[in-house]
Amino acid sequence: MSDLQCPATVLVMRHGQSEGNVSRRLSAAEPGAPLTERGRQQAKDAATALAGRNVARVYCSPLLRAQQTAGVLAEALGTGEPVVLQGMREFDLGDLEGSDTDADWARVDAVFDAWLDGDLAAALPGAESGGHVVARVRDALDEVADLHRGETVVVVSHGGAMSLALPWLAHNVRNDRARGAGIANCAVVELSGDSEGWRLVSWPPRTPQLGTSPYPGDLVELLGRADADRNLAPPSGHWPDGAAFETVAGVACAHLPLPYAWATQASLAGLGAAADAPPAGVVAAVTGWLQQHSPDAWHLVVDQQQVDGVAAATGLVEQLRHGVWLCDAAPEVPVPQGETSEPVLDRPRDVAEFLTVFGADLGPVVEGQLDLPDREFVVVRHEGRAIGCARLRDLAGTTYVGGVTVVPELRGRRWGRAVSALATRRALERSPLAWLHCDDTVSPLYSRLGYRRVTTHVHLGPARR
């Protein structure tokens, strides 16, 4: 950057939602996927928000989704045709370009985490290094600043390149500023550049959403933390008799007085999906607590990327695994077979009514919690009788959907799908993102409701004797 007497203000914006975001396909090569209709609306909304910033010019990455976003902005702001900057393209995915497998997304997560840890020499197979990404973004923005002293411009780029490079450019923030703070579609990072270099003015607030490609670790880790928080203690006075809750080595541990191994558990998924082997001391302390409260009958939940490391270090074996599925759009509610109108969600009259569907022996999961503000228990009635139920809980800015149950005699008649749809709609009224765990045998149901699988949580436990 030349000797700027007047600072340049650069608003670096992530593109709107693209079809690649929705399909969760790794994509960084030209031309790339176009915007969805939602992405176009996000761009229009962003243009409205920028109307008072007196933007002099709009620049963009060469990828189609960025050019389309920039086109909407430029037309609305009256800045003329957008100018393409090659240096602002997404980070190269090399041999992983076009993949949609969990394994390849995990490899992207691992390299990105290495970059955030300061290892800019790391690279995906056949791709550029993190250092190269930072250098080309710096060159592009320096060029823009030289051309627009004392002016404000918009540069449309990509979540991965922005999350990596912009903190490295700014002298007033840590290089890993993006850790745990992914950039939403059409969110803006504001920079000010002058003769002393770049300064971060603002970073967008964290907004959980689908389609954070290619920075999926943000969402995987968010739900890992949410899963870990499910074991936090409820407020005093709302514990069932015989229950125990404690945070051990930074990990929430829970024990409910039920004759099931899952009733005593802790989750290491909150330590970050990239941590193949969490610290041995943490694992030892947590498993010691679990063993003390329920000898040889407990579950330690880990993300799929942690399984091998934890199992090798502890000798624990897999007990079960559940896909982690997410949804951010309210699904249609199907009409159950033989019915003429949509079912309606309602509050249970009391714990006893909820348990008539959920299971009479599962009282400790529910008792004392019906009126807590961070959770909600719901039922669906048929001819005045509760025939379906679900539990909702707000966790880490999301809402977890659990305990979806239908009475046995009505199963197989679309009641389960209807209850799940109603519970999901209610969850999305509470937060921007609904999520749940489910076995592969029922995953097609949730796929039809608009959920998509993000990762897998595996329950490890002592070998059965």
Across the chain, mean pLDDT equals: 88
Question: Which of the four pLDDT bands, split at 50, 70 and 90, describes residue 271?
Answer: confident
Give which of 125, 302, 93, 311 is closest to 216, Cα–Cα.
93
Q: How confident is the model at residue 465 (pLDDT cuts 50, 70, 90)?
A: low
CA–CA separation, 274 vs 264, rounded Å? 25
Delineate the domains of the chain, giving CATH numbers in brackets. Answer: 8-215 (3.40.50.1240), 222-326 (no CATH), 329-432 (3.40.630.30)
* Residue corresponding to tokens 């999906």: 273
Which of 8-17, 172-181, 362-371 has the largest mean confidence? 8-17
Could you say which DSSP state residue 40 is in? H
Report the pLDDT value the prediction gives residue 277, as an integer from 0 to 100: 67
Asked if residue 228 lies in contact with residue 252, where contact means CB atoms within 8 angstroms, the answer is yes
How much is the average pLDDT of 50-55?
Answer: 93
Q: How far apart are CA 121 and CA 102, in angstroms?
A: 24
Residue 2's pLDDT band (cuts 50, 70, 90): low
CB 351 within 8 A of CB 370: yes
Angstrom distance (rounded) from CA 437 to CA 446:
10
Nearest to 98 by CA among 28, 26, 33: 26
pLDDT given at position 208: 44
High-pLDDT (> 70) share of the chain, %: 93
Q: Are 424 and 435 in contact (CB under 8 A)?
A: no
Residues 425-451: what's their mean pLDDT? 89
pLDDT tens per residue across span 106-140 = 678 778 878 887 889 999 999 999 999 999 999 99
Spacing of C-alpha 49 from chain mean position: 25
Query: Over the stretch 276-306, which tens digit does the pLDDT of each residue have?
Result: 568 889 999 999 999 999 999 999 999 888 8
Cα(413)–Cα(339) distance, rounded to whole angstroms? Answer: 10
Helix (H) or strand (E) holding 65: helix 64-77
Is pLDDT above 80 for 464?
A: no
Among the residue ranges 31-35, 119-123, 204-208, the one predicted with the least confidence is 204-208
Reply yes or no on whether the pLDDT at 235 is more than 60.
yes
CA gap 96, 85 in Å, rounded? 24
Give the pLDDT confidence score for residue 286 in this predicted structure. Answer: 96
List the end-to-end C-alpha distance of the chain, in Å, as a whole number: 68
- Give the residue-averaged pLDDT of 59-83: 96
Predicted confidence (pLDDT) at residue 275 exceeds the cutoff of 80? no
| Predicted local confidence at residue 4, as pLDDT | 55
Model pLDDT, residue 73: 97
> What average pLDDT score do residues 385-399 get?
90
pLDDT digits (tens, 9 = 90+) for 302-357: 988 888 889 999 999 999 999 999 887 889 998 888 887 778 899 999 999 999 99
Average pLDDT over residues 141-148: 95
Tokens of 12: 């670096």
Count of all residues that appear for the chain in the document = 465
At 218 the pLDDT is: 61
In which residue are the tokens 């943490």 written?
Answer: 282
Output the pLDDT for position 214.
Answer: 37
Q: How confident is the model at residue 206, as a pLDDT?
A: 52
Query: What CA–CA distance (Å, rounded) separates 385 from 408?
Result: 14
Prior bond of 31 cis (ω within 30°): yes
